[in-house]
Amino acid sequence: MDDKNMQRPDGVPAVENTGSSPRISIEPSQPEVQAQAGQTAQQPGAAYQPGAAPQQPGAQAAYQQPGAHQAGATAQQPHAQPTPQHAASMPATATVDTRTVVKTKTKKLPVFLASLSGLVVGAVLVIALVMTGALNIGETNVEAPALSDAGTSGTQTIQIDAEDTTLAEAVAAKALPSVVSISAVNERSGEGGIGSGVILDTDGNVLTNHHVIEGATTIYVEVNEESYEAELVGADASSDLAVVKIKDIDESQLTPIEVGDSNDITVGEWVMAIGSPFGNEQSVSTGIVSALYRSTALRGTSGTSIYANMIQTDAAINPGNSGGALVNAEGQLIGINSVIESYSGSSSGVGFAIPANYAINIANQIIAGETPAHPYIGVTVTSVNAFTAREQGLSVSEGAVVTSVNADSPAEEAGLQPDDIVTAVDGESIASADGLIIAAREHEIGETITLTVVRGDETFDVEVVLGSDAELQEENQDGTTGDSSGSLMDEDEFRQYLDDLMANR
């Protein structure tokens, strides 16, 4: 059984620019970092602990948000308790038991064949893109249209040498100017961190992760090696997305990203991740799309973030990459880098990005001043495990048990009742409360899903037309909520469960 759990890693601390500090420093311990009010945090370094214990075989892998590091945080240790690390370093503990939903399987290839295939594919892509004009590589430049959905238009022109340009060089030249470094500072606590963001338009709107800027009192964005203060336009903690707007910047300094279609990508496709890993802004890494439709949930100080239908990639994604861009071979945005799976807290070749189609939709709602809407069922649920099933005499040991049904909700219209246990969505098994919420988020508002429901000794299917939770959010309610903490037995429950089993032998 897969023991991997989601957790948020330590991130990149914001430090003062001394003008002489090396980017990578080795220190006996991580010093406390004080961010000065009104001062841009620059030149972050990654601190390591000499003599740290090596990773042991069989150590538990952790899913994490590769976001801004907490000031004063030490290097990630194996078996660390999952804790949320945000740009503003809000101290809180999150315990998450949700597994990643795997819907795409990829076959393993020998290293030699994979490497050879990568070289061949890369060469063919470069030739094909140049000949077809997809990258519009002329003798001296690359042109790309700006994001039109954000209400602006324009063209970015990047000067390059087309005679001897690799695919990675062409894509980096096109996309790098559109990815920025974000420093988020909490002046009250003196803490801060560094993440990444993507320029959406010439108005200065920048898309990033919510956990990068959460709790910040001051936000700075670095564009073309110049630091600008930014204001928060809006955020959606539920989808871990936020938009900030750069203040007092000339639009000629802004290069909006070109947005691709994240529905039109395939496993094995070449991609590039761009961001500020460990505070090293304007960094790129390349890889492929490893899998599609990965989903999970992470708890934080603002509630549970649902990550549905994520893109998995082996392009290196590290702390500080959160909010940065995942682009395709045409330099188009296809994802926002947000989560990593790692034993150590650093890249292990398993990173995840929120699909661009979903992220841009949420961003456009935020920019328009709307409340971001998500699909919802309209129930409050809790998880079922073997102990609770035995204690309550339930007929199943996995699933999401309905504790309440919202009035006038899709769930009420479908006939769901308290104490119903949802065990599957569209034939896919549901093991916990989070599983049900994730399954709903994997669909669109207005779509119909089929729930498999256990009511007493009866099992039947119910069709539910997913609604929008925008109105409920405005009323400070939640349309579909759940507590999956009960999906795993704690020590006392496990001991009682074993005692009951032995007594009945």
Q: Is residue 39 part of a domain?
A: no
**406-421: buried (b, 16+ CB within 10 Å) or exposed (e) per residue?**
beebbbeebebeeebb
Q: Within this chain, do residues 346 and 385 fall inside the same structural domain, yes or no? A: no
Structure tokens at 40: 């841009």
How high is the pLDDT of residue 132? 52
Q: Within this chain, do residues 246 and 110 fall inside the same structural domain, yes or no? A: yes
- State the CATH number of the domain containing residue 434: 2.30.42.10
Q: What is the pLDDT of residues 189-212, one digit of tens each?
A: 888 889 999 999 999 999 999 999
**Residue that finishes a domain, picked among 319, 344, 368:** 368
Q: Within this chain, do residues 197 and 337 fall inside the same structural domain, yes or no? A: yes
Overall domain count for the chain: 2
Structure tokens at 184: 């988020």
Least confident of 87-96, 118-127, 415-424: 87-96
Q: What is the pLDDT of residues 315-372, one digit of tens each?
A: 999 999 999 999 999 999 999 999 998 888 778 889 999 999 999 999 999 999 999 9
Nearest C-alpha neighbor of 381 from the set 326, 419, 336: 419
Q: Within this chain, do residues 446 and 334 fall inside the same structural domain, yes or no? A: no
Structure tokens at 226: 């110049």
Active site residue 79: no
Q: Within this chain, do residues 232 and 206 fall inside the same structural domain, yes or no? A: yes
Q: Within this chain, do residues 158 and 222 fall inside the same structural domain, yes or no? A: yes
Place 300 in a pLDDT band, splitting at 50, 70 and 90: confident
The per-residue DSSP string of 58-69 comes to: TPPPEEE---BP
Q: Which of 10, 201, 236, 240 is catalytic?
A: 240
Place 502 in a pLDDT band, splitting at 50, 70 and 90: low
Q: Within this chain, do residues 356 and 456 fall inside the same structural domain, yes or no? A: no
pTM of the model: 0.68
Q: Which of 211, 238, 305, 344 is catalytic?
A: 211
How high is the pLDDT of residue 103? 35
Measured between alpha carbons, how far is 23 from 352 in angstroms, rounded to an integer?
A: 26
**283-315: buried (b, 16+ CB within 10 Å) or exposed (e) per residue?**
bbbbbbbbbbebbbbbbbbbebbbbbbbbbbbb
| pLDDT average, residue stretch 85-112 | 37
**Residue that finishes a domain, picked among 368, 402, 432:** 368
Nearest C-alpha neighbor of 169 from the set 202, 196, 135: 135
Note whether 286 and 80 are within 8 A (CB).
no
Q: Is residue 26 part of a domain?
A: no
Domain assignment of residue 384, given as a range? 375-503
Q: What is the pLDDT of residues 75-97, one digit of tens each?
A: 333 233 333 333 333 333 333 33
Q: Within this chain, do residues 325 and 181 fall inside the same structural domain, yes or no? A: yes
How high is the pLDDT of residue 213? 95
- State the CATH number of the domain containing residue 210: 2.40.10.120
Active site residue 211: yes
Q: Is residue 108 part of a domain?
A: yes
Residue entry with tokens 């700006």:
146
| pLDDT average, residue stretch 362-386 | 92
Note whether 85 and 369 are within 8 A (CB).
no
Q: Is residue 45 part of a domain?
A: no
Active site residue 322: yes
Q: Which of 183, 290, 322, 432 is catalytic?
A: 322
Q: Is residue 50 part of a domain?
A: no
**Residue that finishes a domain, picked among 368, 393, 422:** 368
- Which parts of 26-184 fold into alpha helices (H)? 111-132, 167-175
